[in-house]
Chain A
């Protein structure tokens, strides 16, 4: 039994058939990455899992419980945390308030306090800026805030959508270091990335999406060595 299992989901935007039967699994403790070009359906897949979009057919199972069809706010409490594409932090709430919002549906005060300390320990920059409005942070700091906020939901699966987008190389390194650390601590991660080389370097397994379908899947090293992938996604001739 997989922790997260997506079975043949079809998702539409109006009349546009965006996902044409996506199936994937995420095992406890893994980093799984979805790679593919713009418009391949990576973000749509993530948004379908988190309930922001509803699939027209197919099922999403978390620990064998069907979660598709539930409202997004309920899926969070089941254990899906998402750091969305473009960060989407609350610009006029302070850093601390942003993180508190992550714990909105939790009632275990001690656990929340512990997780907050943990987030500040992972991202010391956020601790320094805890009373600042989210909108005044730099891009990298906002990404850290978005990840920290998702962690505050205490997810069983943490979904990260393009965490390195638009960041300076040194910050990209930091973000990937943190992804590794989180995983070593036991967090299961579903990672969506344009930066396929980096994603495959930290992931256990990967799926390659193309126009709403999965073209290839396999363990990360194999994918990184795959001729076709090297050409298409890793920018090699």
Chain B
């Protein structure tokens, strides 16, 4: 890329310089605090990334912003809390028992969310595939409302036997801290907070994302997904059953949202009926930042949003974080409309 000396580029350079200066000054003021926030940012970024992949894959293949995707994440979190309730798993119930409980969540939530997402596509989006794009978009918003109402109803489960439920459905339900919050670096004398809870979000998300990338790049089905995303009619002429491929895309997106739901519940230690909306906004922003349709981009975007959120929470103020996230989105789109990794390969005539 050739650098052109223009007002636009000067403003961009100043912005980047300012940001770097700000980061350095924060770092120098208290390096340990800064590093702690970077760790926070990366681990919640991993959760954003998991959800963002679902947005970006679905958009890539049917050009639909699936507004219900964040709510599928919420359903995953609700289900996890239900499992924790039934097993009466808590911080006191012993690490091995809790490990089993968490494993059970990771076995069920992705499956349920995957099937839920496939069902949504089959009954809500597929009949509209040849209608105007607006019809599908509005339907997605409708599905989002339906899922949120389900979440609201779900949250009113009685506290017996569902120990973590009860009371008003609209209130956030506490999620037991089943993954240890003990600081691994406590003995080193460093004031950096690094806990198994942080590591586990990363340890979960990164292998999944690598596996997904390999799947999409190398396997026959993965290539068929990319082909379908690029040219649906041509894909049909190759013998690709595009309905199956689209279902597959929703299946994978849903499963990752389910993983995200478990991780989100455990990480934020709370579940509430509208948590999917907030996550949806952030994950969608991450997908757009990375270049919508691009899986690696969505992952980068997720980590980026996670970092910005954590730093903004610490150095600006929690209530400004959303505004900061969207200001960054606007800036990135002004200077790079296709996102970090979004490319437009034009087809020659």
Contact = CB atoms under 8 A, between A and B. Distances in A.
B194 interface: no
Nearest to B343: A92
A153 B239 CA distance: 8
Q: Is the interface of B mostly helix, strand, loop or mixed?
A: helix
Contacts of A73: 236, 238-242
A135 B237 contact: no
A33 interface: no
A104 B191 CA distance: 56
B208 to A, nearest CB: 23
Interface in B213-244: 220, 223-224, 226-227, 230-231, 233-242
B237 A82 contact: yes
A135 B347 contact: yes
A53 to B, nearest CB: 10
Contact of A97 (B223, B234, B239, B241): B223
B230 A84 contact: no
Interface in A177-210: none
B229 to A, nearest CB: 9
Nearest to A141: B348
A91 B345 contact: yes
Interface residues of B, number: 22
B238 A52 contact: no
Interface in B172-228: 220, 223-224, 226-227
Contacts of A142: 347-348
Contacts of B237: 50, 52, 72, 76, 81-82, 84, 88, 150
Given A71-B241, A91-B230, A101 B235 contact: yes
A59 to B, nearest CB: 21
Contacts of B233: 52, 84, 88
Contact of A92 (B230, B234, B240, B348): B230
Given A73-B242, A135-B345, A138-B348, A104 B230 contact: no
A104 B345 contact: no
A122 interface: no
A58 interface: no
Given A90-B226, A90-B227, A97-B223, A139 B348 contact: yes
Contacts of A81: 237
Contacts of B345: 91-92, 133, 135-136
A100 interface: yes
A117 B347 CA distance: 26
Nearest to A82: B237
B349 interface: yes
Given A90-B227, A135-B348, A139-B348, A104 B238 contact: yes
Interface in A127-159: 133, 135-139, 142, 149-150, 153
Nearest to A166: B349
B346 interface: yes
A102 interface: yes
Interface in B327-349: 345-349
Nearest to B234: A88
B227 A101 contact: yes
Contacts of B226: 90, 92-93, 97
Contacts of A71: 236, 241
Interface string B116-127: 000000000000
A174 interface: no
B348 A105 contact: no
A153 to B, nearest CB: 6
A116 interface: no
A229 interface: no
A25 interface: no
Given A91-B230, A93-B227, A77 B349 contact: no
A89 interface: yes
A77 B223 contact: no
Contacts of A104: 220, 224, 238-240
A100 B223 contact: yes
A153 B235 CA distance: 12
A133 B230 CA distance: 12
Nearest to A50: B237
Given A82-B237, A84-B234, A88-B233, A101 B347 contact: no
Interface of A: 50-52, 71-74, 76-77, 81-82, 84, 88-93, 97, 100-102, 104-105, 133, 135-139, 142, 149-150, 153, 166
Given A73-B236, A135-B348, 7 more contacts: A73-B242, A93-B226, A93-B227, A100-B220, A101-B227, A105-B240, A150-B237
6 contacts: A74-B239, A88-B237, A89-B231, A93-B226, A133-B345, A138-B348
Interface of B: 220, 223-224, 226-227, 230-231, 233-242, 345-349
The 9 closest A-B pairs by CB, nearest first: A105-B239, A135-B345, A76-B239, A72-B236, A88-B234, A101-B238, A90-B230, A73-B241, A91-B345
